[in-house]
Structure 1
Amino acid sequence: MIEYVARSGPPEAMNCPAFICDTCRNQVVAEGIVTWATTIGRDGDRGPHQQTPVYVAHKGRCGRGLELWIEQHYPAADGWIDLWDDLEDFVCQLTHNLTNAFADDTEGTYHPHRLVHPKERR
């Protein structure tokens, strides 16, 4: 996930936002993925859809482990689809959305969704 990591030292102490791997808990630098699951697109249902938080992992072993964890907590049998994206692409889209409101997009439709944390699942 994106977390603030405390830093001390010159020129001043600060909290630094960083991508922290949800598998090994180390910082993800350059080669990483974001992964999540959603119910969007199932059987033509127009929503409201459910979505998990977005998780971060290193590519490779950490990413595969995190995807297995997501599949266990959000099973396909319950209508969940797991998705992932390269961290670099995620950051580009996030930067774009910082200054471009969904409401101003006349060509697309943004679907309502409900965020579902693992502890909420029954």
Structure 2
Amino acid sequence: MIEYVARSGPPEAMNCPAFICDACRQQVVGAGIVTWATTIGDGRSRTHSQSPLYVAHKGECGRKVEAMLHAGYPASDGWIDLWDDIGDFLKQLTHNATNAFTDDADGEYHQHRLEGASTNGRMQ
């Protein structure tokens, strides 16, 4: 998950955004993934649904988060899990921070619904 982490020391005390692994609770630096579960909607008769985003180190932590996703969002209910490298995720996020979906004449963006979000940040 992306979290603000309190930090002290030079140049000043601050809260720093960081990727924190949802399996081991350590900072993800370098090789990591952003992962989520989704149902495929067609934007018209079926709504696209997705879980919150989760972060993991590649490898063992990624497999643990994948198992958590499968438990909370089972394939038998139409869910599939997806992932993206953190670097690719950041490129897309940076682009979307300055380019509105409504200004994209070449794309069609479908309605979606966030499922399973909770107030304590843990999968339900």
Q: Distance in 2 between matches of 1:8 and 1:38?
A: 38
1:53 equivalent in structure 2: 52
Q: Distance in 2 between matches of 1:101 and 1:36?
A: 23
TM-score when normalising by structure 2: 0.89
What is the count of residue pairs matched by the alignment? 119
Contiguous gaps of at least 5 residues in structure 1: none
Q: Distance in 2 between matches of 1:5 and 1:118?
A: 21
What is the CA-CA distance between 1:11 and the residue it aligns to? 2.4
TM-score when normalising by structure 1: 0.90
Contact 1:37–1:70, Cα closer than 8 Å, also in 2:
yes
2:83 equivalent in structure 1: 84
For residues 51-90 of structure 1, what are the alpha-carbon distances to aligned partners after superposition, in whole Å with 9 as ceiling and x for unaligned?
A: 1001000000000110011011100110111101111100
Aligned residues with identical type, % of pairs: 69
Deviates more, 1:9-18 or 1:28-37: 9-18
Contact 2:36–2:52, Cα closer than 8 Å, also in 1:
yes
Contiguous gaps of at least 5 residues in structure 2: none
Q: Distance in 2 between matches of 1:87 and 1:23?
A: 16
Letter in 2 for 1:58: H
Contact 2:3–2:20, Cα closer than 8 Å, also in 1:
yes
What is the CA-CA distance between 1:29 and the residue it aligns to? 0.4
Q: Distance in 1 between matches of 2:101 and 2:117?
A: 27
Letter in 2 for 1:94: L
